C-alpha cells in the first residue's frame, strides 16, 4: 500500500481517473445450483492489452488487492471481487471519481450490507444491478449495447 | 485553473489516470496544398459518450484549455491542439502518467521545438509519429489495428 499521505492521495486520484476512463464497477447476480437466491458479485476491473500487463501488476502491487488474469480474448485484467477489497478500493477512489461516482456509491453501500450480513431485498438489488449496468454503457454504444 | 496546490496535484493525477485509460496523445502530419513540408499537429484528446459531455466541459473549464466538440459518430471529445496548451497540459500530467509517459515526452519535446521555431528533421518526425501511433494501439487491437 502507498505510504506518504500526499503520494497516497495522488495515486488514489490517478486510479480514480483510470477507472473513470477505462474501468468497470458493476454488480453480477449469478444463479446458484439448487438455490433460490442468487450469488451477488460486486466487481471493480481495469483492462489493458496483454503486453501492458506489467502496468496492471504494478497497480496490484501498489494497492495490494485484486488479481491479475489474461482473459480468453487476450486482454489483461486487474479485477477485484473479494468483498473486503472491493470496499477498500471503492473507499480509496470514491472522493476522486467524477464519472462513476454513483455506481461506486451503490456498490459501496451494497458491499457494506453484504459484509454485515444484512438481509438483502433481491428486487431492489436487481434494480440496482440494472441501473449500474446502464451507467456502464460503453462510449460507442450510443445507449444501445451494454457494457462492461 | 485549479487553485490550491494539493487540489491541483490531485486533479493533475486524476487527469493523468483518465488519459492513460482513455485518452490519446498523438502526432498528425498533414499535407499542405502547394507545400513540400507537412503541417505538424500534436493532439491530446479525451472522448466520452455525448450524454457525458458535461463531464468533458467541466474538465475544460477546470483547466481552461482545449475545445469540446461532438464528432460525426456522436462521440463527445475534449481535444487540445493549440501548441502552447498542449505543452501546458503535458507538463501538468507528465509526472503522473504511467502508460503514456513515453509518447507524452516525445510530444512535449516536439511541441517545445515547434514553439521555439527550431528547424525540424521531417524524417525523424515521421519516425516519432509512427512510434507514437504504435504506442496508442487500442487494447482490443491485439497489435493489428491502429488507434486513434
Question: ipTM score of the complex?
Answer: 0.85
CA of A63 vs chain B CAs: smallest distance (Å): 15
Reduced to 3 states (helix: H, G, I; strand: E, B; else coil), residue B134 is helix
Reduced to 3 states (helix: H, G, I; strand: E, B; else coil), residue B75 is strand
Q: Which residue of A has its CA nearest to B141?
A: A49
Q: What is the pLDDT along chain A (148 residues), one digit of tens a residue?
A: 555 666 799 999 999 999 999 899 998 888 888 887 778 899 999 999 888 999 999 999 999 999 999 999 999 999 999 999 999 999 999 999 999 999 999 999 999 988 887 777 767 777 777 777 777 655 544 333 233 3
Strands A23-30 and A39-49: antiparallel
CA of A65 vs chain B CAs: smallest distance (Å): 18
Using the structure block, give the residue that is written with the C-alpha cell 468483498: A83
B21 chain-A contacts, CB cut-off 8 A: 17-23, 46
C-alpha grid cell for residue A26?
458493476
Amino acid at each position: 500500500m502507498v505510504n506518504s499521505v500526499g503520494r497516497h492521495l495522488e495515486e488514489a486520484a490517478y486510479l480514480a481517473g483510470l477507472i473513470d476512463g477505462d474501468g468497470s464497477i458493476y454488480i453480477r447476480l449469478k444463479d446458484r445450483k439448487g438455490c433460490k437466491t442468487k450469488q451477488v458479485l460486486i466487481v471493480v476491473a481495469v483492462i489493458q492489452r496483454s503486453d501492458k500487463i506489467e502496468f496492471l501488476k504494478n497497480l496490484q502491487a501498489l494497492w495490494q488487492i485484486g488479481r491479475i488474469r489474461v482473459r480468453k480474448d487476450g486482454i489483461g485484467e486487474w479485477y477485484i471481487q473479494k468483498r473486503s477489497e472491493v470496499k477498500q478500493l471503492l473507499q480509496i477512489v470514491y472522493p476522486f471519481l467524477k464519472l462513476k461516482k454513483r455506481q461506486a456509491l451503490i456498490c459501496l453501500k451494497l458491499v457494506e450490507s453484504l459484509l454485515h450480513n444484512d438481509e438483502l431485498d433481491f428486487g431492489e438489488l436487481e434494480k440496482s444491478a440494472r441501473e449500474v449496468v446502464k451507467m456502464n454503457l460503453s462510449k460507442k454504444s450510443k445507449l444501445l449495447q451494454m457494457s462492461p
